[in-house]
Structure 1
Amino acid sequence: MADKKVVIAGATGLVGNAALRHFGRTGTCDVVALSRRKPRELHGARHVSIDLTDPAQCTQAATALQNATHVVYAALYEAPNLIDGWRDPDQIRTNDLMLRNLMAALEPVAPQLRHVALLQGTKAYGVHVRPLTVPAREGRSEMYEQPNFYWAQENFLRELQQGKAWHWSILRPVLIVGEAIGGAMDLIPPLGVYAAMLREQGRPLDYPGGAARVSQAVDVNLLARAIAWSGEAAAARNEAFNVTNGDVFTWENVWPSIAEALGMQPGKPAPLSLAQEYPKWIAPWNELRRKHDLVSPELETFVGLSFQYTDYSMRYGQTQPGPPSIVSTVKINQAGFTEMMDTEAMFRKWFTHARASRLLP
């Protein structure tokens, strides 16, 4: 039997799916994937269909959770109105409950538990309600006064871990880029669909966002390696870490690389709300799927709430340059995780990959 058993909650999401790929490829551990729907690929993992809001389902899953040594908690409930939902008490309660339900079922059957990795993000610093202190630092810049499910989950884990042999780590990625289907905050499907609509009309890739803001991103595979590192490094025990690619970007500056990866010319600034526009693309998208023999599903299943997230990330409707959104990664670097990636290369990689995988034309 492998000496490591990794339970990944939220295995169909952007981060959970990357963790599934990462741990599955090592071939040295048992992996259990928890999610309501089955991931497209399991990478050798065992899938357990589960709704974490239901304590009875979590209890029923206990046999699959037996002898877990590591938990990657990347499950997430988002409200249908994504941005407003970030401050919704129901969204906070639901996410708190999901983690509690899972740990209540898992801890009693996992006496060898060593580590729980919990995902947060820059909303810990209030990026959704105020300009960030630049750079935002762990332990110094948190906005605990802003209600957030992060604090509910973090406080629960801190209390649960008291006096136990296992440890937790909190990872705070910035804008995450990778491959997923139907997520709430995945940029590749919505931008890929938008590009496909323009290309079909013989148009260049116009820039739909608002005024510039200097910000950061992280490649989801790099994030998965940071999660794996946190599960083994003594310096990561009961600590929170920002995770980024290590550079900064503005959308305007990476736009030509995105256009190139999609086989297009970059166009002009042409502000457009993708969330408002996408209903017009439902039928043309189905036509494109047939024409190009795509494996991606119909539009709303493919993109989820991510049209809303794209408008938010690209600052649609904003006419003044935004305050920089930059976090410090000194802490994680000094603790021993020093990987970096060029953000422009990251965007090229994932758009090229989406086309090669027949998710995009």
Structure 2
Amino acid sequence: MGNRLLVAGASGLVGSAVLRHFRTLPGWQVVGVSRRRPPGMDEVPILSVDLTDAARCAEAIGALRSVTHVVYAALYEKEDLVAGWRDPEQMRVNDAMLRNLLEPLLAASGGLEHVTLMQGTKAYGAHLGPVPVPARERWPRHPHDNFYWLQEDYLRARQAGSRWSFTILRPQVIFGEALGGAMNPIPAIGAYAALLKEEGLPLSFPGGTARVVQAVDADLLARACAWAATSPACRNETFNINNGEAFEWAAVWPAIADAFGMRVGEPAPMSLAQEMPRRQAQWSAIHRRHRLRSPELLADFVGLSFQYVDRNFGHGNLQAPAPTLVSTVKARQAGFHDCVDTEDMFVRLIRRYQELGWLPPRVPHTSS
């Protein structure tokens, strides 16, 4: 029968990319778990399950008998995104969600081989203060409360003495193709650009001082999940994953602007989380005029990502923060050599959103 992959969080940024990739691989069947069906996945089996509902998970997940692999990409975030990263309830819910999925699955499926779990640079305390460069997987656990540690401790304890193994991946800022996510900068940048373009304005950078960051293409992360699922070198190991380079927003901004058919404007500091919801009527007019297929409500299209973009753009920073840069040497030494040109990634993803009708088409703006 080959391998059967269960993707938790199938409609999210990571989960949908994983589904898209694995469904193209020979010898793999895929099934998703999500409260809503991801766009373009009509032929993929999707279990409509709220992972906070233990009884529903026991019923639906417990009926699966032949799952061999799991990619756990489900995530619960608070409405106040950044503050929620320190919230005990956010940690408790994320811990419970993993347990609610894995316990009935382990009881039902005797053939489980591998679980891939997502973490991120908050594992190094990046949301709390400066991190030594480069951050490495072999460091002792950073001493702060985080649902990463709750999930990891549960997974390690549950896996002890079992035949199945796990891999923990730590991507950085993820960019990809999804709707309504908590941390997906592309629709947030795209909606902001569409409003400026409609007003005949150039694309001004709304953030703070210069900031050096690392990105990961969701499609690259999906390929890393395929590697982790099958490589003996990944058994019970943790790997940082990113595109393979650092970048500064000012350096990629011209390519981003050109992808929207815009020129670059002077910096114009602005909190997108505060300003963009006030522009709903303008977005609705753009949405109707271009007959977009993305959600008309910005909250449904962008999710919490305006808050996330503010943080990544360094909104309000008067001085450049210390960069959080991680080493990916361990992954390369273990056999994962994939990389992505980050500037090309932005152009490709913006074009993809335009092709899907989620953002207005790229037509160079001409002033009246």
TM-score between the two structures when normalised by the length of structure 2: 0.96
Letter in 2 for 1:118: L
| 5+ residue gaps, structure 2 | 361-368
Q: Comparing 41-50 with 311-320, which one deviates more in the overlay?
A: 41-50
Counterpart of 1:207 in 2: which secondary structure? coil
How far off is 1:52 after superposition?
0.5
Q: 1:229 aligns with which of 210, 227, 230?
A: 227
How far off is 1:272 after superposition?
0.5
2:161 is aligned to 163
* Cα distance per residue 1:207-234 (max 9 Å; x no partner): 1011112110011000000011001000
2:365 is aligned to none
Alignment map for 1:188-227 (pairs within 5 Å): 188-227=186-225
The answer on 1:175 being equivalent to 2:177 is no
Q: Supply the distance in 1 between the matched residues of 2:42 and 2:333 (Cα, whole angstroms).
A: 32
Letter in 1 for 2:350: F
RMSD: 1.0
Alignment map for 1:1-361 (pairs within 5 Å): 2-42=1-41, 44-140=43-139, 142-143=141-142, 145-298=143-296, 299-361=298-360
How far off is 1:355 after superposition?
1.0
TM-score between the two structures when normalised by the length of structure 1: 0.98
* Cα distance per residue 1:286-322 (max 9 Å; x no partner): 1111111110002110011000000011110101011
How far off is 1:64 after superposition?
4.6
How far off is 1:94 after superposition?
0.2
Letter in 2 for 1:48: L
Counterpart of 2:47 in 1: which secondary structure? strand
How far off is 1:279 after superposition?
1.9
Query: Is contact 2:61–2:101 with CA below 8 Å preserved after alignment?
Result: no
How far off is 1:336 after superposition?
0.2
Going from structure 1 to structure 2, the CA distance change for 1:295 and 1:192 (only over 3 Å counts) comes to same
Q: Supply the distance in 1 between the matched residues of 2:64 and 2:134 (Cα, whole angstroms).
A: 39
How far off is 1:16 after superposition?
0.3
Counterpart of 1:61 in 2: which secondary structure? helix
Aligned identity (percent) is 52
Counterpart of 2:123 in 1: which secondary structure? helix
Counterpart of 1:267 in 2: which secondary structure? coil
Letter in 2 for 1:127: A
How far off is 1:43 after superposition?
6.4
How far off is 1:62 after superposition?
2.9
Counterpart of 1:117 in 2: which secondary structure? strand
Q: Supply the distance in 2 between the matched residues of 1:157 and 1:62 (Cα, whole angstroms).
A: 17
How far off is 1:27 after superposition?
4.8
| 5+ residue gaps, structure 1 | none
Letter in 2 for 1:164: S
Q: Supply the distance in 2 between the matched residues of 1:264 and 1:316 (Cα, whole angstroms).
A: 22
